[in-house]
Amino acid sequence: MTISPERLKELQNINDSEIDTSDIPELDEQFWQKARRVEPISQETVLIKLDLDIINWFKHQTPNYKTIINQVLRAYINQQKLE
């Protein structure tokens, strides 16, 4: 999902007191009992060649296209583990 620069500027200018958080449940003791620490996965910068149409497709989806490509590859790996 992309957000326009104009909308982003609007959101940045909203005072905290104007944000409605009434639909967000409080974190209770039960939440913290089930909470688990997740260590971030380390990343390495690599240079790979991808077909131009693939890169262009992802670039048109979001400015964070590199992150999305990583997520697609992770989803593929996770699916292979299930099979």
49 located within any domain: yes
Range of the domain at 64: 45-83
The answer to whether residue 15 is domain-embedded is no
65 domain residue, yes or no: yes
In a domain, 72, yes or no: yes
Q: Does 82 fall in a domain?
A: yes
| CA torsion, ordered 55, 56, 60, 64, to nearest 10 deg | 20
Nearest-10 Cα torsion for 52, 58, 61, 67 = -150
Predicted local confidence at residue 50, as pLDDT: 97
Joined together, the tokens standing for residue 66 give 């590199």
Number of domains observed in the structure of the chain: 1
pTM for the complete prediction? 0.53
pLDDT averaged per 10 residues, the chain (length 83): 87 92 92 90 94 97 94 94 87
The answer to the question of residue 51 being in a domain is: yes
